[in-house]
A and B are shown apart, each in its own frame.
Chain A
Amino acid sequence: SQKIEQNSEALNIQEGKTATLTCNYTNYSPAYLQWYRQDPGRGPVFLLLIRENEKEKRKERLKVTFDTTLKQSLFHITASQPADSATYLCAPISNFGNEKLTFGTGTRLTIIP
């Protein structure tokens, strides 16, 4: 069955450092992969989408990589700030049967001042 794993439930990073979150998937051949941010008690917010033919995508301090050989996506936040503290969710999307998204369980990131 399809499975999505995100590294460690919680990650603590010192302010100013780069935070790296991992999303691994099995029994999937996603054509795209999305990342969302969720703050406590609120709905997730879309951050970035990367296509299978894109190795890397950037948006301000965010960078996402997508390695279809390793079946992995990495999500980086550079120059991290306490305001970046949140749970981050990944969601791979296949070309077929893509009407619904399946989300990873998320990684709770805390940036320590």
Chain B
Amino acid sequence: DGGITQSPKYLFRKEGQNVTLSCEQNLNHDAMYWYRQDPGQGLRLIYYSQIVNDFQKGDIAEGYSVSREKKESFPLTVTSAQKNPTAFYLCASRDRQGTYEQYFGPGTRLTVT
């Protein structure tokens, strides 16, 4: 059963702590993406990766870091430098040889207090 998984679904952290969100895909897609969504807002791109061991900043990368050591995995770390980390985080992947369709995971809702 192919798809993208994100874990956990809900995550709670205290202010000042770093937290890592997991994203795994078994679709054999080269490209992977992280978005942030705030209530009533659209998707904003945090980081993206076109290939293993390479990634680029999106529109709102400050306070976040990523790694892409394996094709299947693209974890996102929300650092203590991120001023407003509470949000809904979505991971997506795409077949670069395909039609630009992005496949999204179920999302992780992060709450920092």
Q: A34-B100, A45-B104, A105-B41 are in contact. List 16 more A-B contacts (CB 8 A).
A: A32-B99, A34-B101, A36-B102, A41-B109, A43-B4, A43-B92, A43-B104, A44-B43, A44-B102, A46-B101, A46-B102, A89-B42, A99-B48, A99-B50, A100-B58, A101-B33
- On A, residues with C-beta under 8 Å from B are 9, 32, 34, 36, 41-46, 49, 89, 93, 98-106
**A84 to B89 alpha-carbon distance, docked (Å):** 24
Knowing A32-B100, A41-B107, A49-B100 touch, does A106 contact B42 (C-beta < 8 A)? yes
One of A42, A49, A101 near B99 (C-beta < 8 A): A49
Knowing A98-B100, A101-B102, A106-B42 touch, does A42 contact B107 (C-beta < 8 A)? yes
Q: Are B48 and A100 in contact (CB under 8 A)?
A: yes
**A99 to B50 alpha-carbon distance, docked (Å):** 8
Counting chain B residues whose Cβ lies within 8 A of the other chain, the interface size class is 20 to 34
One of A9, A43, A99, A100 near B106 (C-beta < 8 A): A43
| Nearest-Cβ distance from residue A25 to partner chain B, whole angstroms | 13
Q: Are B105 and A43 in contact (CB under 8 A)?
A: yes
| Nearest-Cβ distance from residue A75 to partner chain B, whole angstroms | 15
**A50 to B31 alpha-carbon distance, docked (Å):** 21
**A44 to B94 alpha-carbon distance, docked (Å):** 13
Q: Are B90 and A99 in contact (CB under 8 A)?
A: no
Identify the closest chain A residue to B35 (Cβ).
Answer: A103
Q: Are A93 and B92 in contact (CB under 8 A)?
A: no
What are 6 A-B interface contacts by the 8 Å CB criterion?
Answer: A43-B92, A46-B102, A49-B99, A89-B43, A100-B58, A105-B42
